């Protein structure tokens, strides 16, 4: 199982719906979506999250009463994770349909502690590509001079727990 952890806070409605849909469209079916809302004040957020969790048992939800920051929300989401591997997803990200298959393929084939991927930035309505960020095989030089690890980023769940979370 791959656990996807997502902190949310006042996410625009269309982005929140698209993020959830992109997870539900994954070719790899053995996932759980662990969403921790960080005290959103916009009513549509709670409504969408509760409706999504009610329709799909793979969606786990924590609704925080107040905004305590992305690290706090990410730790609440990590608390719900039961998968051996977790991937970090922002509330406004969209996953390609094979993303979790590729993560599972890597975990089963290479047994890594961490995975990372290329990234595509799209317009807010997701109709056009703004920028591609290609990330090569690990390079200490590239790491020192560029935002190397962004999304999709994954870790062995126990590793995150052993270091105390975020």
- Which helix or strand (DSSP H or E) is residue 141 part of? helix 140-145
Check: CB of residue 44 under 8 Å from CB of residue 51.
no
Average pLDDT (59-86) is 97
Residue corresponding to tokens 């609440």: 76
Of 3-12, 70-79, 92-101, 136-145, the poorest mean pLDDT is in 136-145
pLDDT value of position 151: 75
Read off the pLDDT of residues 106-156 as tens digits, 9 standing for 90 and up.
999 999 999 887 676 667 776 776 666 666 677 778 777 766 666 789 999
Q: Can you name the residues that pair with 38 across neighbouring β-strands? A: 64
Give the β-pairing of 85-88 and 2-8: parallel
DSSP 84: S
Comparing 121 with 1, which gets the higher pLDDT? 1
In the three-class reduction of DSSP (H, G, I as helix; E, B as strand; rest coil), residue 15 is classed as: helix
Check: CB of residue 38 under 8 Å from CB of residue 8.
yes
As a whole number of angstroms, the distance between CA 166 and CA 150 comes to 15
């Amino acid at each position: 199982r791959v656990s996807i952890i997502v902190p949310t806070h006042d996410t625009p409605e269309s982005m929140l719906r698209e993020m959830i849909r992109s997870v539900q469209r994954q070719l790899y079916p053995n996932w759980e979506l662990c969403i921790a809302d960080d005290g959103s004040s916009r009513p549509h957020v709670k409504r969408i999250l509760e409706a999504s969790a009610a329709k799909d048992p793979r969606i786990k939800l924590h609704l925080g009463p107040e905004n305590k920051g992305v690290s706090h929300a990410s730790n609440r989401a990590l608390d719900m994770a039961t998968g051996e591997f977790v991937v970090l997803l922002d509330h406004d990200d969209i996953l390609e349909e094979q993303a979790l298959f590729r993560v599972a393929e890597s975990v089963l084939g290479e047994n890594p502690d961490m995975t990372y991927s290329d990234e595509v930035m799209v317009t807010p309505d997701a109709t056009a590509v703004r920028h591609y960020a290609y990330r090569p095989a690990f390079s200490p030089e590239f790491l020192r001079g560029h935002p190397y690890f962004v999304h999709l980023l994954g870790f062995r769940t126990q590793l995150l727990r052993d270091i105390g979370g975020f």
